[in-house]
Homo-oligomer: A and B are copies of this chain.
Amino acid sequence: MRNFISVSDIGPLDRAVAEALEVKANRFAYKHLGENRTLMMIFFNSSLRTRLSTQKAALNLGMNVIVLDVNQGAWKLETERGVIMDGDKPEHLLEAIPVMGCYCDIIGVRSFARFESKEDDYQEKVINQFIRYSERPVFSMEAATRHPLQSFADLITIEEHKTVDRPKIVMTWAPHPKALPQAVPNSFAEWMNATDYDFVITHPRGYELDPRFVGNARVEYDQDKALAGADFVYAKNWSAFADPDYGKVLSTDRSWTVTAEKMALTNNAFFMHCLPVRRNMIVSDDVIEGPRSLVIPEAANREISAQVVLKRMLEDL
């Protein structure tokens, strides 16, 4: 694997899941692959799970890891070409990227949507510059429009817990006080559409996702109807995608919060969320703490999804 940006980079999902389960059972079996190899993790945004799980995955593989928080301890980076750089940003991405590439073998990048320009966000301007200029394999640690390490971990978690061949998966919007990117729901939709699960998306009107990610999923505006018979409930907030409301909060309607009453509508569904989660906005305390909550196993599988991706990249170096 050269780069890992979307579901299309991982190949057949059944093989990817099988490899994940094998790695999970024997995390240190591939330590020789990472010898004398350095991972550089570059964060333009905050991170807990991604920061920790990706480091752990790289250490499992015997790699060295260098972590760079771009906004702490490094120089602020200009991203536009042609600018007279007389402001507060002393370095340009066009130099910084190949320089970072010099000192490592593989690059992970986190760069969220900025909501300044929908076009810039949906063209994945930052991570695509890394792919173009770094001369190194690049993987997404959440980019503007996708979070594939999360979606892969979600898939592994569903495969570990499903009790029917073709479970019903419901991704439901839930309220949140601030505007969040669409990366996680876009990506989850993309991965679910690549399986043969019964996949339903539910959200208030106005929160339609980019049709390229919705694909063949069923969209249902009535949350209660959507939840009926669900085997897995995947909650997530996102801000509006459609113009002219791109990046805006249109609703904080707490009737969309996933509560025990909502879960009672399902087929004793598992509850999933990528974390971090706003309790009692997205989900009630009792649901997230309950016996059907998978939020911790999901997070634990982040180490596994990252390790499969790094392992494949190392094998192809």
Q: A residues within 8 Å of B by Cβ?
A: 27-28, 31, 36, 38, 40, 43, 46-49, 51-53, 55-56, 59-60, 64, 66, 68-69, 72-75, 78, 81-87, 90-92, 94-96, 98-100, 102-104, 177, 252, 275-281, 285, 288-289, 295-296, 299-300, 303
Besides the known contacts A43-B73, A72-B73, A85-B279, 4 further A-B residue pairs in the complex with CB atoms under 8 A apart: A48-B74, A90-B276, A95-B299, A98-B299
Chain B residue at minimum C-beta to C-beta distance from A257: B84
Is the contact region of chain A dominated by helix, strand, or loop, or is it mixed?
mixed
Contact of A102 (CB < 8 Å), options: B90, B252, B303: B303
CB distance from A59 to the nearest CB of B (A): 5
> Would A95 and B56 count as touching, CB distance under 8 A?
no
Contact flag A56-B48 (CB < 8 Å), given A72-B72, A92-B277, A299-B99: no
Q: Which of A43, A90, A96, A285 has the most B CB atoms < 10 Å from its CB?
A: A90
Whether the Cβ atoms of B86 and A278 lie closer than 8 Å is yes
Q: Is the CB of B66 within 8 A of A52?
A: yes
Copy count, this protein chain = 3
The docked-state distance in angstroms from the alpha carbon of A99 to that of B43 is 19
The answer to whether A48 and B275 have CB atoms under 8 Å apart is no
A72–B36 Cα gap in the complex (Å)?
29
Cβ–Cβ contact A295 & B102, under 8 A:
no
- Chain B residues with Cβ under 8 A from A91's Cβ? 48, 275-277
A59 near B86 with CB under 8 A, answer no
Q: What residues of B have a CB within 8 angstroms of the CB of A289 in the complex?
A: 94
Known contacts A36-B28, A95-B295, A275-B99, A64 near B59 by CB under 8 Å: yes
